[in-house]
Amino acid sequence: MKRNQNVWQNFDFLLFGAALILSILGIALIRSSIAGNITLIDHPQRQAIFLVISLVVLFIVAAFDYKYWITLIPPMYLVTLGFLLFVFTAEARFGSVRWLELGTILIQPAEIAKIVTILALANFFANNYQTANKLGTIMRSGLLVGGLIIWIFLQPNLSTTIVLLIIWASILWITGIKLKFILIAVGIVLLVLLIGAATGFSFLADYQRNRITNFLFPDPDASYGETYNVEQALITIGTGGWVGQGYNQSTQIQLRFLKVRHTDFIFSVLAAEFGFAGTVLVMALLVLIVIRCIRIAQNAPDLFGSLIAYGFGILIFFQSIVNIGVNINVIPVTGLTLPFVSYGGSSLLSLMLGIGMVESVAMRSVKKPE
């Protein structure tokens, strides 16, 4: 019992507190963003229920030594792969098939795949650290990631595919990939982009090509679609000013000019209601989570624990900047949500599970002075 008490003394309350505050704020913003839409009326309650479940999962995961996950990685990988294969039998929504429907609950296996990918790569490179910069090891790690990515890409879900590739590339960088392999990878990416541009990105789904086209050549007269919604997002953000119009008081939100406002564009809702001050607070909390993950990674007792914390920090960082970038129209619409804030039970559950894993690493590390 004494040992367990000592372990809990290393629990990172800053990391946990930031995630909890963002999740609670997210529920409030979801409640405001539904704007009386009867089909979305139960979303705030659903998100609150998922938050409670997610917190229970977080503390259970944190209580167990993260090394126990090593034996669970193969079955978790296979189960996730099975979900991704089975998801093709589900009903298509918004141009793609991404959800498994269990009664009134929708499960998105791609969210689980993010956590499984981090665990699988952390374990792989912990076991192959001495040869991490060898081409054979890099290719084997690519096959490990590719086993999940291919089915996510075919949903089609390009945004999550890119997230998993970024996690893979970042972990390769952390484990010491040689410069020549980085140059080769950059060359391949540029080649794919050139071929894609020359062929009109024919390998992408219609709605994905439209997103790129609308970003590069926006239609100023558009009355619907991505161009229209991005313009409405910019207008919505602009109405917030320094301190916002107040909770539930934004005309852009309450009159439903902004679409997909409870998921992809919830950052715009935040900006309209709480202004620049509110967006700075949320971004600061997201940065705090990333910094705490990096700090925990640096103090981790082994490479497996370190890569878990690094991987999750990378996930939060990349997904946050992409979502915010979409809202302020500096990158094309992707479909990535704002971590902890946007509506989505699967997303919130997987994120809190990840926080629990990072906490487990922190609790079993030698605490160093901040």
Q: How far apart are CA 358 and CA 370, in angstroms?
A: 17
Query: Which tokens go with 298?
Result: 């640096």
| Any domain includes 24 | yes
| Any domain includes 350 | yes
| Any domain includes 52 | yes
* pTM metric for this prediction: 0.88
| Any domain includes 128 | no
| Any domain includes 341 | yes
Q: What is the pLDDT along the chain (370 residues), one digit of tens a residue?
A: 345 557 888 999 999 999 999 999 999 999 999 877 888 888 999 999 999 999 999 999 999 999 999 999 999 999 999 988 887 665 545 445 556 665 556 678 888 999 999 999 999 999 998 888 888 898 899 999 999 998 888 877 888 888 999 999 999 999 888 777 777 776 776 777 677 666 766 666 666 666 666 666 666 665 555 677 888 889 999 999 999 999 998 888 988 888 888 888 999 999 999 999 999 999 999 999 999 999 999 999 999 999 999 999 999 999 999 999 999 988 888 878 999 999 988 899 999 999 999 999 999 987 665 5
Number of domains making up the chain = 1
| Any domain includes 153 | no
Q: Residue 271: what residue type?
A: A
Q: Residue 226: what residue type?
A: E
What three-state secondary structure class fits 203?
coil
Q: What is the 3-state secondary structure (H, E, C) of 330-343?
A: CCCCCCCCCCCCCC
**Of 157, 149, 151, 111, the residue nearest 334 (C-alpha):** 157
The whole domain housing 227 covers 2-109+204-363
Q: Where are the beta strands (DSSP E) in 249-317?
A: none
Q: How far is CA 48 from CA 28, 29, 55, 330, 341, in A?
A: 10, 12, 11, 32, 12
